[in-house]
Amino acid sequence: NSNYIQLNSQFCRKIIDFLLAQPQGYYNYEQDEKIPQAKDKQLEMYLYGLENNNNQIQQADLLIYELFNKYIHILKENIEKQETDLQNLSVTKENILSRDYNELASICDDYLRRFENNEDENNLLTNLFNGDHGNKIAELIVKSVLLSMKYGSNEGIKRFSRLLQIVDLYPKTMDLIADKLQEIPCWMFFDCLYQITAHLDKPIA
C-alpha cells in the first residue's frame, strides 16, 4: 500500500511538472508515428482504465486537472479505508494516516503556491484553482494539515504556519481551523506561537 501511494505520487507529480514545462509534450508524443499503437493514450488508460479510455485529451490543462484529481482521489480513498474503524486505531494506522494527510496537503499546497506566485507561465493551473476550486483545495490543505497533527505528525506541525497564510487568502477556511483546533494537543502549537500571536492582530482572527 505504501509503495502504491508513493508510485502514484511520483508518477502524477512528474507528469504534471512535465506538462507545465512542455504543454505540447504529450500531444506530440501521441501524434508521433514512431510510437507503437499499443502505447497510445497511456495517460487516458491510467486516468479512466482500460475500458473507458476512448476520449483523447489533447489539452495540457485538462490532463493536469485530471491527473491531480486522480491522485487526490487515491489518497482520499486510502485515508477513508484507514479511518473506517477508528476504535481499533493503532500506532501503525496513525502513522499511515498522518503520512497520507501530509501527502495530501503537500501536493495540494505545492501547486497552489505555484498558482499564487504566478509560476504557471501558460496558465495551465487555472482550471484547478479558479473560483470555488481554489477554496475547496485550500480547505483540503487546512483539513489535511490539522488532521495530520491530530495523528501526531511533526511534519504537520511544521506546515501549520502556512495555514495562517491560507486563511488570509481564503477566509472561509477560518471556520474549519476553529473547528479542528480543539482536537489537537496544545503543545503542538508551541513552535508557532510567534506567528499565531502576530496573526491575532488581523481582523479575520
Q: Where are the domains of the chain?
A: 2-199
* C-alpha closest to that of 57 among 46, 70, 68, 43: 43
> In this structure, what are the phi and psi dihedrals at residue 70, rounded to the nearest 5 degrees?
-60, -45
pLDDT digits (tens, 9 = 90+) for 83-103: 776 566 666 767 888 889 999
Segment 106-111 long-range contacts (CB within 8 Å, at least 24 positions apart):
107/9, 107/12, 107/13, 107/68, 107/71, 107/72, 107/75, 108/72, 108/137, 108/140, 108/141, 108/144, 109/141, 109/159, 109/162, 110/13, 111/16, 111/68
What pTM does this model have?
0.84
pLDDT digits (tens, 9 = 90+) for 28-59: 766 667 665 555 567 777 787 756 555 556 68
